[in-house]
Amino acid sequence: MRVDVATLFPDVCEAYLSASIIGRARKAGAIQVACHNIRDYTDDKHRRVDDKPYGGGTGMVMQAEPIYRCINEVTLREFKGKPPKLIYMSPQGKTLTQGLVKTLAKEPWLFMLCGHYEGVDNRVLEELPFTEISVGDYVVTGGELPALMLIDAVARLQEGVLPNAEAYSRDSHWQSGVLEHPLYTRPEAWRNRGVPTVLLSGHHENIEKWRESESLNTTYSKRPDLM
List, by residue number, the catalytic residues: 91, 118, 156, 171
* Count of C-beta atoms within a 10 Å radius of residue 89: 26
In the chain, alpha helices (H): 10-17, 20-28, 64-78, 98-104, 122-127, 144-155, 166-169, 204-222
| Cβ-contact 114, 142 below 8 angstroms | yes
Q: Which of 36, 33, 50 is nearest to 6 (CA)?
A: 36
Question: If you ran DSSP here, which 8-state letter would residue 226 be given?
Answer: G
- Our separate counts of H helices and E strands in the chain read 8, 9
- Helix, coil or strand: residue 36: strand
Cα–Cα distance, 110 to 88 (Å, whole number): 11
